[in-house]
C-alpha cells in the first residue's frame, strides 16, 4: 500500500483504543481488505470516509474492551462532582463572583469583537467568481492610486485572451452626494454612494435583484439601479421599474429610468446605494471622449480572469501592455506610470492607497482587536487558575480522601475540569445577557449593525467558546489539584508548593503586563487625538460654515447669495472654491519651472477659488499678493504654497513674478506666480503637505463648488436660520445643506476616534478583570498570613509596617510588569503613530503616567485587604488553636 492509500491514521488509532485485543487482528484485517477494495472502485475520499464509518460502527458492546473503570457507575460520580462543584461555588461566594464576573466580561468582550471581526471579513466574499476578479490600479513614482485611465478596461479585454470580462466604476469626482428627485411624488433626497458603472458591471460583481432583470438592466442609456432601501424611500410598495428619477448635477438635471432594485445585506468595498449607467446624457459624452491612456486616472477598473489564469503572469504582462498602447500618451503628458493588480475580495481589508472607492477597513486593526479580545479572556482565565491553585488547601483534604477511597487521578482531573466548565457555563449565561444589553451601544461605537444572529452556527461557536474557556482555565488547576499525594495532604502538611506560587506570580505579571500595555496605548492614542485636534493647521478651522453648491441654480446664484449673506454683518468673509481643507481634492496638474523641461515637472494640487480664499480661511501670505477683484484679470496667475515653491527650486521671495509652465494637448501654457502662501494642512495629518496652488483660471475649474463662510458670531442657531432664509430666497428649488469645516476635517480621523473609544473600553475591562484577580489573591494572602501578622503585631510591628509587608510582594510583581510592558507598548504605539505624517513623540511622562496608574490601581486593590488584615486585633487571630 502506498502512502496515500493507507486507511486514515486517526481512525485506526481510535479503533485500537476501544477494540478488544482478541478481536484486533481479524477486525483490522477485515477493515483493511474493505478499504483496499473501496480504494479500487471509489475515490480515496469515499474509501476513507467509509473506513471511518466502519470504525465507528464497531463501537458496539461486544467489541469494546472491558476496562476496569467501566465497572464504575460514571453517571453517579458526575452527579456527585456536579453537586460538590456547585456547593463549592456557593461556599466561596466572593471567589465565585470574581471568577464568574471576570469570565462573563471576558467572554462578552470576546464575542462582541468576534462579531466585529467576522463582519469586517465578510466584505466582498459573496461574489460568485470573486477570487478571479482583480482591480487594476496605477502607480506613479511612489504614489499608488487605485484607479486607472478610461481606455484601459477595454484595452485589457481586447489584448488579453485570459481576460473574461472587464468593467469600470466611476464616482462623480468631488461630489460625495447627488440630489435625486422623483417628479410625481415630488420627493427629493441627497444621496451618497452613487456610482457610474459600465454595462458589464454585474458580470463581475454578484448582486441579487428584487425587481428588474440583472442581465438587461444596464443595456439602455440613462438607467438607474437603486438599492432596496432607496427604492423604498421613493416608491414604497409600488413597482419602481421604468419610473423616472431626476439626477441633479452641477451642470443640469438629467432623467434616469429605474431598471432594477438590488437587495442589500452583502457588504462590498463599493458601498453602493445606487448605480447609474456610464452610458448616459450627462457625463456619457465626456466618458466616451476619454481616450487618453495616461491622464484622468479616475476610473476604477476591474477584470475577471478566466479560470486557471495565473494572476502573477497576467500582472507581469501589464507593463508591456501599457507601453504598447499608452506610451505616446504618457510621453506627451510628461510622466510615466505602471499598473498593478489587487484581488477584489481582499481590497476592503488590505488596500489603503489614494482615491479609494470608499474608506476601507484595515486588517491590522482586526489583528489588534482580536488579540485584545483573546487577552481579555485569558486574563479572566488566569484569575480562575490563580484563585483555584491558591485556594487549593481547602480542597486538598477532599482530594486526599477521594484518592484514599479509590479515586484515580483521571477521575479527579475530570472532576475539577467539570467545576471549571460549570463556572464557565454560568459565566456564559451572564455574558449572553450582557451581550444582548451591550450590542446596541457597541453598534453605535463601531458604526455597524451587528447582531448575534448574523454569525453562522452562532450557538455552536458560543458553546465552543465556553468549553474552550473552561478547559483553558481549568486544565492547569485540575492537574495541579489532582496531583496531591494523599499521605502528605492528609497529614496536614502545607501543600502550597514553591512552583505553584511561582507560576501564580508569573501569571499575575502577565495580566498586569497586558493591562499596562493597554493603558499606555490608550494614553498615547488620546494624546495623539488631542494633538490632531489642537495642532495649528496653518488656517483657521473654527467658525467656518460650508455650503455645498450642488445644483445648477445654486452655482449660478453663488455670488448673489454670498453678497446677500455678507451684507448681514455676521460674516468676516466668504469664498467659493472647488475644495476646502479636509476634503478630497483630486484636481492637479504637472508644472515645470522656467528653463526646465516637461520631464522635470512637479505634480501640484489645484484648488479653484472665487477670490478671498486666503482671507476667509486665514491663510498667511508670505510674499506677493492675493488675487485681484474682480478675479478675471488674474486668470493666468497662481498662488503657490511653500512646498510647491521649494520643489520648483525657488524661495518664497524669489518665486513671485516667475512663470511656470504646463503642457496640455501638446501645447505649452504659462502661469505667473503672484504670491506664496504659508504651508497649511489641506489634507489630514496622516499626510505630508503636498505642493499646492490656488487659481482663479476657468481652465482649472472643477465640477463642484462650495461656499465657505467665516462667521464672526458664535450664535449658530440664529446664524443658521438667517443663512437658510437667504438660501431659500435665492435658490428656491435647491435643498439647503451645510456642514462645519472643523467637523469635516475631523471626519478624516473617524477610524482613529473609533479605535480610541474601543481601546479605552478594553483597557477598562482589562484593568477591572486583572484587579478582581489581584483582589482575590490579596485576600487569600492576608488570610493565610493571619497568624504571622498577629505575632508580628504582638511583638510590636506597626500597622504601616504590616501593610508594607503585605503589599510589597504584589507591588514587586506590578513593577516587573511595568518593566516588561513599557517597551512592548512603546514599540507597538510607535508603529501606530507612523501612520500619521505628523504625530507626537511618546514622552517619558506618558510612560511614567502609565506605570504610576498601574501601581495606583494595584495599591488600591491590595490596600483594602492589607489594611484590614493589619488593623485586625492580634488577639482574635492568635487566641484559637
Partner 1 sequence: MIETRLGEFEEVILLLTGILGEEAYAFKIAEEFESQTKRSVSIGAVHSTLTRLEEKGFLKSEMGKATAERGGRRKRIYTITAYGKKTLTAAKDFKQALWDQFPGFATSKLSFVLS
Binding site for partner 1 (CB under 8 A): 1, 23, 25-34, 36, 53-54, 57-60, 62-63
**Shortest Å, Cβ 97 to partner 1:** 50
**Shortest Å, Cβ 23 to partner 1:** 8
Could you give the dihedral angle defined by the CA atoms of residues 537, 542, 543 and 544, in that order, rounded to the nearest 10 degrees?
40
**Shortest Å, Cβ 5 to partner 1:** 12
Question: What does 289-357 look like in DSSP terms, one character per residue?
Answer: T---SSS---BEEEEEEPTT--HHHHHHTHHHHHHHHHHHHHHHHT---EEEEEEGGGHHHH---BT-S
Neighbours of 216 (CB within 10 A): 12
**Shortest Å, Cβ 69 to partner 1:** 23
Q: How far apart are CA 849 and CA 527, in angstroms?
A: 12
Among residues 27 and 522, whose Cβ is nearest to partner 1? 27
**Shortest Å, Cβ 55 to partner 1:** 8
Q: How far apart are CA 54 and CA 51, in angstroms?
A: 5
**Shortest Å, Cβ 17 to partner 1:** 15
Among residues 27 and 676, whose Cβ is nearest to partner 1? 27
CB 516 within 8 A of CB 850: yes
Q: Distances from the Cα of 564 to the Cαs of 585, 610, 728, in angstroms?
A: 28, 16, 12
Among residues 54 and 342, whose Cβ is nearest to partner 1? 54
CB 682 within 8 A of CB 537: no
Among residues 22 and 142, whose Cβ is nearest to partner 1? 22
Give start and end residues of each alpha helix (H) in 593-713: 613-617, 642-648, 652-655
Q: Which residues pair with 194 in a beta bridge?
A: 274
Among residues 53 and 78, whose Cβ is nearest to partner 1? 53
Among residues 61 and 236, whose Cβ is nearest to partner 1? 61
Among residues 29 and 463, whose Cβ is nearest to partner 1? 29
**Which cell numbers hold the place of 506?**
508569573
Q: How far apart are CA 183 and CA 186, in angstroms?
A: 5
Among residues 62 and 75, whose Cβ is nearest to partner 1? 62
Among residues 27 and 854, whose Cβ is nearest to partner 1? 27
- Give 131's contacts (C-beta < 8 A, 6+ positions apart): 343, 345
**Shortest Å, Cβ 37 to partner 1:** 8
**Which cell numbers hold the place of 104?**
462573563
Q: How far apart are CA 270 and CA 193, in angstroms?
A: 8
Helix, strand or coil for residue 679? coil
**Shortest Å, Cβ 30 to partner 1:** 4
State residue 237 phi and psi, 5-degree precision.
-90, -5
Helix, strand or coil for residue 270? coil
Among residues 15 and 846, whose Cβ is nearest to partner 1? 15
Q: Which of 635, 647, 642 is nearest to 601 (CA)?
A: 647
Among residues 28 and 122, whose Cβ is nearest to partner 1? 28
Among residues 50 and 292, whose Cβ is nearest to partner 1? 50
Q: How far apart are CA 394 and CA 377, in angstroms?
A: 26
Terminal CA-CA length for the chain: 74
**Shortest Å, Cβ 44 to partner 1:** 17
Q: How far apart are CA 318 and CA 135, in angstroms?
A: 13
Q: How far apart are CA 424 and CA 383, in angstroms?
A: 12
Q: Which of 262, 281, 272 is nearest to 197 (CA)?
A: 272
State residue 163 phi and psi, 5-degree precision.
-85, 115
Among residues 34 and 352, whose Cβ is nearest to partner 1? 34
Among residues 21 and 834, whose Cβ is nearest to partner 1? 21
Chain-centroid distance of CA 240 in Å reads 36
Chain-centroid distance of CA 691 in Å reads 31
Among residues 4 and 447, whose Cβ is nearest to partner 1? 4
**Shortest Å, Cβ 13 to partner 1:** 16
**Shortest Å, Cβ 68 to partner 1:** 22
For residues 313-347, b (16+ Cβ closer than 10 Å) or e, as one string?
ebeeebeebbeebbeebbebbbbbbebbbbbbbbb
Computed on alpha carbons and rounded to an integer, the radius of gyration of the chain in Å comes to 36
**Shortest Å, Cβ 154 to partner 1:** 57
Neighbours of 638 (CB within 10 A): 26
CB 289 within 8 A of CB 367: no
**Shortest Å, Cβ 70 to partner 1:** 18
- Give 452's contacts (C-beta < 8 A, 6+ positions apart): 111, 115, 435, 436, 439, 458
Phi-psi region of 455 (alpha: psi -120 to 50; beta: other; left: phi over 0): beta
**Shortest Å, Cβ 43 to partner 1:** 17
Q: Which of 564, 568, 545, 562 is nearest to 709 (CA)?
A: 545
CB 70 within 8 A of CB 407: no
Q: Which residues pair with 706 in a beta bridge?
A: 548, 577
Among residues 28 and 496, whose Cβ is nearest to partner 1? 28
**Shortest Å, Cβ 63 to partner 1:** 7
Q: How far apart are CA 399 and CA 392, in angstroms?
A: 10
**Shortest Å, Cβ 259 to partner 1:** 53
**Shortest Å, Cβ 52 to partner 1:** 11
Among residues 3 and 90, whose Cβ is nearest to partner 1? 3
Among residues 29 and 698, whose Cβ is nearest to partner 1? 29
Q: Pairing relation of β-strands 692-695 and 602-608?
A: parallel
**Shortest Å, Cβ 46 to partner 1:** 13
Q: How far apart are CA 528 and CA 512, in angstroms?
A: 24
Q: Which of 659, 651, 641 is nearest to 595 (CA)?
A: 659
Amino acid at each position: 500500500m502506498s502512502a496515500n492509500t493507507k486507511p486514515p491514521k486517526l481512525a485506526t488509532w481510535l479503533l485500537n483504543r476501544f477494540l478488544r485485543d482478541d478481536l484486533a487482528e481479524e477486525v483490522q484485517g477485515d477493515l483493511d481488505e474493505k478499504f483496499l477494495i473501496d480504494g479500487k472502485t471509489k475515490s480515496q475520499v469515499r474509501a476513507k470516509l467509509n473506513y471511518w464509518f466502519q470504525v465507528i460502527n464497531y463501537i458496539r458492546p461486544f467489541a469494546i474492551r472491558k476496562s476496569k473503570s467501566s465497572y464504575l457507575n460514571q453517571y453517579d460520580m458526575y452527579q456527585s462532582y456536579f453537586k460538590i462543584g456547585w456547593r463549592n461555588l456557593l461556599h466561596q461566594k466572593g471567589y465565585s463572583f470574581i471568577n464568574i464576573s471576570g469570565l462573563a466580561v471576558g467572554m462578552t468582550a470576546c464575542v462582541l469583537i468576534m462579531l466585529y471581526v467576522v463582519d469586517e471579513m465578510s466584505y466582498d466574499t459573496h461574489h460568485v467568481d470573486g477570487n478571479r476578479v482583480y482591480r487594476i490600479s496605477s502607480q506613479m513614482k511612489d504614489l499608488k492610486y487605485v484607479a486607472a485611465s478610461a481606455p484601459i478596461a477595454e484595452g485589457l479585454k481586447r489584448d488579453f485572451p485570459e481576460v473574461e470580462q472587464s468593467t469600470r466604476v466611476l464616482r462623480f469626482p468631488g461630489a460625495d452626494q447627488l440630489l435625486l428627485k422623483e417628479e410625481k411624488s415630488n420627493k427629493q433626497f441627497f444621496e451618497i454612494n452613487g456610482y457610474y458603472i459600465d454595462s458589464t458591471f454585474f458580470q463581475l460583481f454578484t448582486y441579487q435583484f428584487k425587481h428588474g432583470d440583472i442581465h438587461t438592466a444596464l443595456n439602455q442609456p440613462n438607467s438607474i439601479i437603486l438599492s432596496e432601501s432607496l427604492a423604498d424611500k421613493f416608491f414604497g410598495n409600488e413597482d419602481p421599474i421604468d419610473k423616472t428619477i431626476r439626477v441633479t448635477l452641477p451642470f443640469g438635471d438629467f432623467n434616469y429610468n429605474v431598471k432594477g432594485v438590488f437587495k442589500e445585506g452583502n457588504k462590498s468595498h463599493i458601498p453602493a446605494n445606487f448605480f447609474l449607467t456610464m452610458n448616459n446624457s450627462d457625463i456619457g459624452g465626456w466618458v466616451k471622449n476619454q481616450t487618453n491612456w495616461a491622464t484622468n486616472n479616475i476610473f476604477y477598473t476591474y477584470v475577471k480572469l478566466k479560470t486557471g489564469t495565473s494572476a502573477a503572469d497576467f500582472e507581469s504582462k501589464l507593463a508591456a501592455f501599457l507601453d504598447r498602447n499608452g506610451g505616446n500618451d504618457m510621453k506627451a503628458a510628461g510622466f510615466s506610470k505602471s499598473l498593478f493588480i489587487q484581488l477584489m475580495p481582499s481590497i476592503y481589508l488590505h488596500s489603503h492607497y489614494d482615491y479609494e472607492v470608499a474608506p476601507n477597513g484595515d486588517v491590522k486593526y482586526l489583528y489588534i482587536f482580536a488579540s485584545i479580545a483573546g487577552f481579555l479572556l485569558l486574563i479572566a482565565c488566569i484569575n480562575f487558575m490563580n484563585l483555584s491553585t491558591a485556594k487549593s488547601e481547602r480542597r486538598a483534604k477532599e482530594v486526599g480522601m477521594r484518592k484514599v477511597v479509590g479515586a484515580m487521578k483521571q477521575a479527579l482531573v475530570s472532576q475539577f475540569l467539570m467545576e471549571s466548565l460549570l463556572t464557565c457555563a454560568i459565566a456564559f449565561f451572564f455574558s449572553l445577557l450582557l451581550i444582548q444589553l451591550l450590542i446596541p451601544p457597541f453598534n453605535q461605537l463601531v458604526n455597524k449593525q451587528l447582531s448575534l444572529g448574523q454569525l453562522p452556527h452562532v450557538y455552536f461557536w458560543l458553546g465552543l467558546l465556553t468549553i474552550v474557556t473552561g478547559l483553558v482555565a481549568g486544565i492547569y488547576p485540575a492537574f495541579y489539584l489532582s496531583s496531591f499525594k494523599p499521605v502528605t495532604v492528609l497529614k496536614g502538611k502545607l501543600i502550597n508548593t514553591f512552583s505553584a506560587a511561582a507560576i501564580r506570580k508569573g501569571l499575575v505579571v502577565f495580566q498586569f503586563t497586558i493591562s499596562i500595555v493597554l493603558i499606555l496605548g490608550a494614553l498615547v492614542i488620546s494624546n495623539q487625538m488631542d494633538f490632531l485636534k489642537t495642532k495649528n493647521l496653518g488656517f483657521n478651522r473654527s467658525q467656518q460654515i460650508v455650503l455645498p453648491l450642488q445644483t445648477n441654480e445654486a452655482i449660478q446664484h453663488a455670488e448673489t447669495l454670498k453678497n446677500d449673506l455678507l451684507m448681514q454683518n455676521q460674516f468676516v468673509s466668504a469664498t467659493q472654491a472647488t475644495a476646502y481643507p479636509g476634503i478630497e481634492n483630486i484636481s492637479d496638474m504637472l508644472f515645470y519651472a522656467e528653463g526646465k523641461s516637461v520631464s522635470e515637472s512637479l505634480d501640484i494640487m489645484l484648488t479653484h477659488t472665487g477670490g478671498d480664499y486666503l482671507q476667509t480661511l486665514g491663510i498667511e501670505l508670505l510674499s506677493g499678493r492675493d488675487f485681484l477683484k474682480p478675479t478675471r484679470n488674474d486668470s493666468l496667475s497662481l498662488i503657490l504654497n511653500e512646498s510647491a515653491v521649494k520643489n520648483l527650486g525657488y524661495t518664497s521671495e524669489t518665486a513671485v513674478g516667475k512663470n511656470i509652465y504646463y503642457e496640455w494637448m501638446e501645447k505649452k501654457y504659462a502661469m505667473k506666480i503672484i504670491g506664496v502662501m504659508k504651508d497649511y494642512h489641506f489634507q489630514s495629518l496622516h499626510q505630508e503637505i503636498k505642493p499646492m496652488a490656488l487659481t482663479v483660471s476657468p481652465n482649472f475649474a472643477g465640477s463642484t463648488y462650495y461656499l465657505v463662510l467665516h462667521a464672526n458670531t458664535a450664535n449658530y442657531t440664529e446664524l443658521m436660520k438667517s443663512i437658510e432664509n437667504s438660501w431659500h430666497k435665492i435658490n428656491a428649488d435647491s435643498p439647503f445643506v451645510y456642514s462645519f469645516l472643523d467637523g469635516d476635517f475631523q471626519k478624516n480621523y473617524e477610524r482613529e476616534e473609533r479605535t480610541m473609544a474601543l481601546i479605552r473600553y478594553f483597557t477598562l475591562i482589562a484593568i477591572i478583570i486583572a484587579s478582581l484577580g489581584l483582589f482575590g489573591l490579596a485576600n487569600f494572602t492576608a488570610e493565610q498570613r493571619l497568624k504571622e501578622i498577629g505575632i508580628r503585631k504582638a511583638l510590636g510591628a506597626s500597622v504601616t509596617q504590616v501593610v508594607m509587608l503585605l503589599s510589597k510582594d504584589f507591588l514587586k510583581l506590578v513593577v516587573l510588569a511595568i518593566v516588561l510592558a513599557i517597551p512592548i507598548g512603546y514599540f507597538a504605539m510607535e508603529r501606530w503613530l507612523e501612520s500619521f505624517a505628523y504625530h507626537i513623540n511618546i514622552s517619558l511622562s506618558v510612560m511614567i503616567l502609565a506605570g504610576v496608574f498601574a501601581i495606583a490601581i494595584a495599591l488600591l486593590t491590595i490596600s483594602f485587604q492589607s489594611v484590614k488584615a493589619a488593623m485586625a486585633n492580634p488577639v482574635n487571630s492568635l487566641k484559637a488553636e
